Amino acid sequence: MKQNKIDFIKLLKGYKSGWIAISHDFRHVLFHGKNLKEAMKKAKNAKEKVYYFPAGESYSNFVG
């Protein structure tokens, strides 16, 4: 079974910095914070599991 594609292009639209909190189905941004602490504070009372991801404008030029 194939997992649904997680489209960060769509999710990160309008967010160039900070952290976003994403819904458990990976389709929506529920909260945004200028840093992880703020995003977690906003998501504290969320009724569903949230996934956090750093917002940025470019994810290339990474050499692991």
Partner 1 sequence: MIVPYSPLPDFRDKIILAPLIPVTFRNKNFEFSTFALVDSGASGAVISTVIAEALNIKWEKIPVTQGFSVGGSFRFHRFNSLRAIIYDNELMADHEFALNVSIIEAVSPYKCILGQKDLFQRAKITFEGYKSQLEITFREYN
CB of 24 to partner 1, least distance (A): 9
Torsion of CA 7, 11, 12, 18, to 10 degrees: -120
CB of 45 to partner 1, least distance (A): 15
x-or-dash string of contact with partner 1, 2-41, rule CB under 8 A: xxxxxxxx--x-------------x--------xxx--x-
**Residues 11/42, Cβ–Cβ less than 8 Å:** no
Which two three-digit tokens encode residue 59? Answer: 């994810």
Residues that bind partner 1 (CB under 8 A): 1-9, 12, 26, 35-37, 40, 49-54, 56-60, 62-64
